[in-house]
Amino acid sequence: MSEREQPVVMKFGGSSVADFERLRRVAEIIATRARERPTVVVVSAMGKTTDRLVREARSLCEPPAPRELDMLLTTGERTSMALLALTLCGRGISAISLTGSQCGVITDHQHGRARIVEVRPFRILDELAAGHVVVVGGFQGVSYKREVTTLGRGGSDTSAVALAAALGADCEIYSDVDGVYDGDPRKLGGAARIDEIGYEQMAALSRAGAQVLHARAVELAAERGIAIYARASFPVDGKRGQTVIRNNPAAPTGVRAVTCDRAVIEVRLRLARPVGGEETVAVIAELGRALGGLGLAYLQIDERGITGLLSASLRDDLESFEAELGRLISRLAHRSPPVTVDALEYRGDLAVLTLVGAGLEERRDTSERALSVLAEAGVRLRGMRTDGQSLALLIAQDEAELATARMHRAMLERSEPPRGSV
């Protein structure tokens, strides 16, 4: 297949299609691309539509039933995909809009946090062969039970990567920034764009709260070997660069980016009695699997219970989390012998400041320097965890802005030119 015959998948986020003027500008970008290659477009809901729909649902029913909430939320993407298709048609570009179910995105049965099981892109291939630009509603699919499902916050990224994998296509992600930066460019004046970054480091950044790409999309790209090109929908000040996310085994050791998740909840389950004897391994394994599956990170398990961190900024379904946690506690109580949870505690005034790079677990100088930066800023460290790709520092939420700025300045802002591809 020649390059002109190979499809391209373009994904536009909610800010890129927030109003009719932006829809028209996006249509111009798509029209230019469609003259070169068969084009599939994945689109999110317009602006803050999803947040508005969630508020409306909660004003009528608290908590909203997950199935009905999914039915409601998918209308956001359906609206934007139909309006974008109409805009393209108005420009003389033949376009057709398809829902996730119409284009063969098959998911598991979880409402609100469904995972894509497979993609059957037969309808898309037929429409491309007919010369149409295919506009797909992101964030949604259909389960084997023929239920409409949503993929959770950032799910349109995952939709785009999954479609690119199924079509053997390139994947281009358009947002309000021209790629991936080593810090939040909206808050850090010294932040520099990274020309190329590997899957592991990008996934670590996403899990740590960076808003450019959803972690599941990066993981799926790594599984399928799909390169992602992160670009700005509407470049400003001549910034027309990009970041390429793909396999990058030659990444140098050291810190490449700093990010901060400012909405972190600490969840602690305290057992009524210590777990001991033969039941220890089984109970700890069950706790670890279950809480990890619920989205709890940085788990610390001992004989008296388990503590983990939940990112509120990456979840729209905290009520669902609490319900699932309640079911887990009930299952533990009905074990033989029973395991009783004496206390369930939440603490929500925390943030996680994360340094992302390569070989951080082996580099003591990185952790020593990071701790020194916090001490000099008067920021109290409440916990620390490191692995090969990241160093996570638990701090108070009201100290997050100061700590992030100081850490970025100390670790990444130098007089030499910005870091590029490696």
Binding site for substrate: residue ranges? 50, 77
Calpha distance 203→210 (Å, rounded): 9
Whether the CB-CB separation of 351 and 395 falls below 8 Å is answered with yes
Under DSSP, the state recorded for 272 is S
Calpha distance 182→355 (Å, rounded): 10
Q: How many CA atoms lie within 13 A of 305 on its CB side?
A: 16
Whether the CB-CB separation of 352 and 383 falls below 8 Å is answered with no
The residues, ordered by sequence, that sit 6+ positions from 246 with a Cβ below 8 Å of its Cβ are 196, 198, 199, 221, 227, 228
User: SS3 string of 41-68?
Assistant: EEECCCCCHHHHHHHHHHHHCCCCCHHH
Taking alpha carbons only, the member of 213, 233, 241 closest to residue 16 is 233
Binding site: residue ranges? 11-14, 50, 77, 181, 186
Calpha distance 391→360 (Å, rounded): 7
Taking alpha carbons only, the member of 80, 76, 153, 147 closest to residue 107 is 147
How are strands ordered across the β-sheet holding 140-143?
Answer: 116-119, 105-107, 140-143, 148-150
Under DSSP, the state recorded for 253 is S
Whether the CB-CB separation of 38 and 8 falls below 8 Å is answered with yes
Under DSSP, the state recorded for 12 is E
Beta strand 390-396 pairing with 341-358: antiparallel
Whether the CB-CB separation of 381 and 393 falls below 8 Å is answered with yes
Calpha distance 183→412 (Å, rounded): 9
Binding site for ATP: residue ranges? 11-14, 181, 186
Which single residue is written with the structure tokens 């023929």?
146
Which element (helix H / strand E) includes 286? helix 279-293
Whether the bond into 63 is cis, omega within 30 of 0: yes
Taking alpha carbons only, the member of 208, 175, 146 closest to residue 354 is 208
